[in-house]
Amino acid sequence: MVVAATVHAGAMVVLGGLESFDSRGTCGDPASAAALHDARVAFAVLVGFSALPWLLGAVLAVVRRRPWLRFVLVAVAVSALPVAFWVDALQATPAEWTSSWCF
């Protein structure tokens, strides 16, 4: 379970970073409102993909009368960074959703 959670968390970090990089404006130019909206939706989906499998495991553990708290703790840990990306995107304006990185 530890290996699966570590791999899952690593995948969520990579996917969150790629989505953030893909949707931000570059060279100091602000992102478009559509790009910011797409980022918000993508991060919401990413939060679902990060927490849902572990919460489903918790429900199945309850049904099978097995320890379930570990699944909930893993769901919280794995989805922490995607939630942070999502909150950042929700609070940002298109002018703030930019980076100074240039090609």
Convert the pLDDT of each residue in 22-76 to its tens digit: 888 777 788 888 989 999 999 999 999 999 999 999 999 999 999 999 999 999 9
Please indicate, yes or no, if residue 101 is contained in any of the structural domains.
Answer: no
**8 A C-beta contact, residue 30 and residue 97:** yes
The reply to whether 43 falls in a domain is: yes
pLDDT at 22: 85
Query: Looking at the domain assignment, is residue 96 inside a domain?
Result: no
pLDDT at 2: 83
In a domain, 51, yes or no: yes
DSSP 8-state assignment for residue 31: P
In the chain, the number of structural domains is 1
Residue 98 dihedral angles phi and psi, to the nearest 5°: -145, 165
Structure confidence by residue, pLDDT tens digits, 1-17: 789 889 999 999 999 98
- pTM for the whole structure: 0.84
Let me know if residue 14 belongs to a domain: yes
pLDDT value for 45 = 94
- Please give the residue range of the domain that contains residue 32: 2-91
Write down the pLDDT at residue 103: 65
Query: Does 87 reside within a domain?
Result: yes
* Amino acid residing at 88: D
